[in-house]
Amino acid sequence: MSRIGKNPVAIAEGVTVTIVENVVTVKGKLGELSQELKDGITVKEEEGSLIVERPSDSKPDRAKHGLYRSLLNNMIEGVSKGWTKELELVGVGYRASNQGQKLDLALGFSHNIVIDLAPEVKVETISEKGKNPIVKLTSYDKQLVGQVAAKIRGFRRPEPYKGKGVKFVGEELRRKAGKSA
């Protein structure tokens, strides 16, 4: 039995779940998400929670059992509370600003990087004197927030010697010693 898959998913207050054939739709105060279930995985609603079941004990079925349970849990938590990712710009002259859904990043290149973000992702930039700029991404879709954050981080990954670049807030970087003379 999958340790994750066998746990029921609690449905939060104010969230409605509809199951039509093999598509689960979750609707809450922040938005609406849907997930198609494949490979015989079934979901049933019992006493305010969702129970995910698999057709057999084969290795692929066990893996998908836990996967779909986690996806449904993330969907329910997303439409009720939302997901947030914070990125920190470490480096001299690194700046971030936004106008609506346009994020403008100055990361030490010859030009600024301007990104148009999806309407589901809310962006906020925090710039305080003496501290590194922070880009805060918020959405009800965990996959979308993670993908956008990874794309922004990919523009200038933190380097191991000085730690300059775009990193997640709280991320521990593996640092290397410089050359010793």
The string of pLDDT tens digits covering residues 59-88 is 888 889 999 999 999 999 999 999 999 999
Residue 175 near residue 163 (C-beta atoms within 8 A): yes
CA distances in angstroms from 6 to 16, 41, 49, 53, 67, listed in the order given:
21, 12, 12, 8, 11
Instruction: Say whether pTM exceeds 0.75.
Output: yes
Q: Around Cβ 2, how many Cβ atoms within 10 Å? A: 17
Per-domain residue ranges for the chain?
9-80, 83-168
Burial state string for 131-166 with b = 16 or more CB within 10 A and e = fewer than 16: ebbbbbbbbbbbebbeebbeebbeebebeeeeebbb
Q: Using the predicted structure, report yes or no on whether residue 1 has a pLDDT greater than 70.
A: no
Confidence tier at 159 by pLDDT (50, 70, 90)? very high
Domain 9-80 and domain 83-168 have a common topology: yes
The string of pLDDT tens digits covering residues 43-59 is 999 988 999 999 998 98
The string of pLDDT tens digits covering residues 100-145 is 999 999 999 999 999 999 999 999 999 999 999 999 999 999 999 9
Architecture of the domain made up of 9-80: Alpha-Beta Complex (3.90)
For the chain, percent of residues with pLDDT exceeding 70:
98
Topology of 83-168 in CATH? Outer Surface Protein A; domain 3 (3.90.930)
